[in-house]
Structure formats: C-alpha cells, structure tokens
Amino acid sequence: MASTPTIAEIARLAGVGTATVDRVLNRRPGVNAETVDRVLQVVAKLGAKPQPGRPRRGENFRFAYVLPDDPSPFFGLIDRQIAQAAGDFRHQHITEVTHRLDARDPARFAADLATLDDCHGIALLAPDLPPVKLAINELVRAGVHVVTLFSDVAGSMRETYIGADSRAAGRTAGLLLARMARPDGRDTLLLSSQATRLSAEIERRVGFAQVLEERFPQLRMVRVPDLPADAAGAEQALAGFLARDIDAARVAGIYNVGSGAAGVVKALVKSGLATRAAAIAHDLTDEHRTLLTNGALSYLLHQDIHYCVAAAARVLRAQCENVRGALNVAQPRIEILTAENLE
C-alpha cells in the first residue's frame, strides 16, 4: 500500500478490536499467540507497518463505563457524574459511553459485556459471578484494559479496583451503631440488604459483622431476610419482620448496605422505632439527602463518586499509553455524613 494503514483498518481485517491491534504493535502482554499471529499477518499483507506508540494528538481514546441496568438511585447518580465529566473527558481526548446492562441475567450481562471489545478501556461495575469474570478475562486477553469501579470482581484479570474499602465501610457502620446501643435494654442491631451479587455490598455485611464480633460481643446482631429492591416492598417486608420475628423494643439501630433506605425508614416509623433506633445507609443520593436532613437517617456513608469516575478514566488512559505506575491510584475515603455537615 502507498499509505500507512490505520489501526482501525488492521483491526477490521484481523477481526479484532483496535485496542488489541494497539497491544500487538506495542508488544504489550495480554494477547494470545494466535491473535498476535493474525494481526501480524494482516500487517504484513498490507505491506506497511504503522508506527506504534501513543496515539497522535487529537486521536481519541474510547472508554466505556458499564453499569447494571437497575433503577437504583446510586447507579443513576454514577450515570449523571459520568455525563457531567464529559467536558473534561473531551479535553483529555477521551470519548466515553455509558452502557447499562441487565444484571438480573448473569449470562446475558457477560455476553453483552464481551461485545465491547472495540473499546480501549472499560470501567466496570458488575456482579461478582463466574460468567462476568470470564468475560473480563477475555476482554483483557483481547487487549482491552479493564478496571472495576465501586464494586470489585476479585479473581478476574481486571487491572485494578477503584472505589472505597467496602469492608472498612461496614466496620464503620458497626462502630457507629454499637456506640449508640445499650446492653441493658437496646442491645440488638439489624443488618438489612437486598439479595445482591455485588461484592461491595457483601463486603459491607462482612465488615459490620466482624467489628461487632470483635469489639462488641455483648451486643446482638440480627440479619434481616433479604428485602425487595423497591421501597414499598422493603417497607412492607421489614415492618412484618419487626412485628413478628424480633423484640422491636430491643432494637438500637439498623444498617442498610444497599438501596431501599426509604422503605427501611418508613418501616421504622410504622413500628414506632423512628425516634429510638438509629439508621445508617450509603451514598448521597437526592433521596438520602432528604432523609438525612429530616433526621430519618442518622448517618450516611459516602465516597467521592466524581473522583472515582475521573480516576477510572485517568488510569485507563495511562494504561493505554503504557505509563509507568499507571495503576498507582489513591482510593477514596469513607465519609461520615450527618445532617450537620452536608454541603
């Protein structure tokens, strides 16, 4: 050929993503030998080798943010933060797109995730399940950089995790509630959540139980049966549990690790516990801000979502550019918010 072939042209002829071609040309690991051979054969057939290295000025990276397709206010908050960061991304020559995938069906989620192999990088919030791990591994082998965001998929080939320490968050919630309990009367702490496959929520539950067992053995922790995801369903289920299955007078507080805090608060009101039992939830959504302001929530545990979204893009870009120390990222702290320290 008279002109230098483009990365996109090589990728199309080789049947792989552009990120894979970039890895092969820059001799970076993570691409299987068969794919490497196929890309090099296409390059040889075209008769000219494009120059490896960092993309030319003005050439955009393509990054995908992948979130569960769930009505959770937290996922909606992340979605808005990504959209608000679009201007900053453009200045960094980053084109971002947000995908909401159906997490109720792990096989379908994994299959849809696997179709994103034309991206340079993916920031992923996904259930920690075998099909998802396999899809991540295949993407990495194909040359796509993958970082997990807010909830990890440990054991996969993802390159790093960006988000707060979820187990430490659970321990923090346990410490706060335990200090409000009274062993001579209100000695029961409740742990509530929805059925979940997000490792962040599972780690929160583990941390909460750990700190009570280690530091407050005189208190009793009771795990509430999994609540429905919607507020009305959570309210009804928790109110029934408080009425039938536990001595509500001994309840000192409740920690809700996932969504549904509005339903949890309404159940406390219905059971007469709203003024006697503390409640802790996660993430500064609009709904949670209102609940915190009016005293329905005692504390809100939060992490800097804007920072995490921007850090994911920064790490992915550094990985694409083969920057030394690209994975050295400071993780956000857990913030303890009250009605008095809201901005």
Residue 229 has pLDDT above 90, yes or no: no
At residue 57 the predicted structure's pLDDT band, cuts being 50, 70 and 90, is very low
Residue 325 has pLDDT above 50, yes or no: yes
278-282 vs 251-256, strand pairing mode: parallel
Residues 298 and 173 in one domain: yes
pLDDT, position 49: 59
Using CA atoms, how far apart are residues 331 and 165, in angstroms rounded to an integer? 8
State CA 265 to chain mean position distance. 25
Mean pLDDT value of segment 176-195: 90
Mean pLDDT value of segment 10-14: 80
| Domains: count for the chain | 3
Residue 334 has pLDDT above 70, yes or no: yes
Residue 338 has pLDDT above 80, yes or no: yes
Residues 293 and 172 in one domain: yes
Using CA atoms, how far apart are residues 160 and 240, in angstroms rounded to an integer? 42
Residues 159 and 257 in one domain: no
Name the token pair of 122.
Answer: 């993916």
Domain limits for position 145: 61-163+305-333
Alpha helices for the chain (secondary structure H): 7-14, 18-25, 33-46, 73-84, 86-91, 106-114, 130-141, 166-178, 199-215, 231-244, 261-270, 286-293, 305-320
Residues 193 and 147 in one domain: no
Residues 173 and 239 in one domain: yes
Strand-pair partners of 38: none
Name the token pair of 49.
Answer: 């080798």
Mean pLDDT value of segment 91-111: 92
Residues 180 and 265 in one domain: yes
Using CA atoms, how far apart are residues 316 and 80, in angstroms rounded to an integer? 20
Residues 199 and 273 in one domain: yes
At residue 60 the predicted structure's pLDDT band, cuts being 50, 70 and 90, is confident
Between residues 4 and 25, which one has the greater pLDDT? 25
At residue 144 the predicted structure's pLDDT band, cuts being 50, 70 and 90, is very high
Nearest to 151 by CA among 222, 96, 103: 103
Name the token pair of 63.
Answer: 């990054």
- Burial grade of 122 (CB within 10 A; 0-12, 13-18, 19 or more): buried
Quick check: is 56 in a domain? Answer: no
Quick check: is 95 in a domain? Answer: yes
pLDDT, position 29: 61
Quick check: is 55 in a domain? Answer: no
Residues 158 and 171 in one domain: no
Mean pLDDT value of segment 208-213: 98
Using one digit for the tens of pLDDT, what is the confidence trace for 276-303?
999 999 999 999 999 999 999 999 999 9
Residues 148 and 261 in one domain: no
Name the token pair of 19.
Answer: 């990120």
Using CA atoms, how far apart are residues 231 and 170, in angstroms rounded to an integer? 22
What is the domain-level CATH number for residue 223? 3.40.50.2300
Residue 4 has pLDDT above 50, yes or no: yes
Quick check: is 51 in a domain? Answer: no
Residues 28 and 146 in one domain: no
Quick check: is 54 in a domain? Answer: no
pLDDT, position 2: 47
Residues 188 and 140 in one domain: no
Mean of pLDDT over the chain? 89
Amino acid at 233: G
Quick check: is 343 in a domain? Answer: no
Quick check: is 52 in a domain? Answer: no
For 300, half-sphere exposure in the C-beta direction (CA atoms, 13 angstrom radius) is: 28
Between residues 49 and 243, which one has the greater pLDDT? 243
Quick check: is 341 in a domain? Answer: no
Residues 15 and 133 in one domain: no
Using CA atoms, how far apart are residues 167 and 3, in angstroms rounded to an integer? 55
